[in-house]
Amino acid sequence: MTRRNPPAIPPDTTPEAWRLQMKAIGEQTPQQCIAIWEETQRQFAIMEEAAMRRLHPDFSDYQILVELVRARYGDELASKVTAKPNALAS
């Protein structure tokens, strides 16, 4: 499978820096790409939870979890979680 890099150079990046970045990305193994993706997702989840706690400082951990489910997956799933609060106990 051939991976293609984005065609446009960001305005804050020199063409040489862009070329080196794209070369480095292109040389990564699939395992390296997945590891970077996993770490990025982990960091995003941490930031998302922190933002939710700033928005709702009085919410319990459970209420924060429900709001995260709502933000990520929508009202339908969040309402199912609130309808069966013990479903998350395992």
Confidence band, pLDDT 50/70/90 cuts, at residue 80: confident
Does the pLDDT of residue 87 top 70, yes or no? Answer: no
For residue range 43-76, list pLDDT tens digits in order: 999 999 999 999 999 999 999 999 999 999 999 9
For residue range 6-45, list pLDDT tens digits in order: 678 888 999 999 999 999 999 999 999 999 999 999 999 9
The letter for the amino acid at 3 is R
Cα–Cα nearest to 62, from 52, 74, 47: 52
- Give Dmax over CA atoms of the chain in angstroms: 55
Q: Tell me, what's the pLDDT at 13?
A: 93
